Each structure stands twice: as structure tokens, then as C-alpha cells.
Amino acid sequence: MSDSRSDETRAKEARKRQLEQKIQRQLDEALEASFPASDPVSIVTSHDEEDWGTDPAPAVPPAKLPPHSGS
């Protein structure tokens, strides 16, 4: 009898590999279509296809002011 949890894990990994292969294929096709132009290669993906992360963007620290000369 197979472990259903490991079956789920294998299925998720297979889906992830298929998605990565799809994105790589799209990039390869976009590169081929743009050659020899100097424009950057781009493809359109959905939020689900990319790992956009869930962490909030880091805050930008305030700019440091030069010391005041007091004159």
C-alpha cells in the first residue's frame, strides 16, 4: 500500500517541474523570436506561475542628511 502523503508530494513536485519547463520553453521561444535584436526577452506569466513570495517589501530607510555646519 502506498503512502498517500508521499503520492501528493510527488504529484506537487511533478506539477512544479511541468510549470518550470513551460516557463523555460516560453523563455526559449521568446529569445529565439527576438534574436539578434537587443531588446530584453520577456514573457507573460500569471501570479500562480511565479513564486512572487509572500514577504512584504523591505522598507526604504530615510536618506541621511549631511551634517549641519552651524554658520
- The per-residue DSSP string of the chain comes to ---HHHHHHHHHHHHHHHHHHHHHHHHHHHHHHHTT--SPP-----GGGS---SSPPPPPPPPPPPPP---
Mean pLDDT estimate for the chain: 77
Say what the pLDDT of residue 54 is: 66
Share of the chain above pLDDT 90, in %: 30
pLDDT digits (tens, 9 = 90+) for 18-56: 999 999 999 898 888 877 766 676 777 776 766 666 666
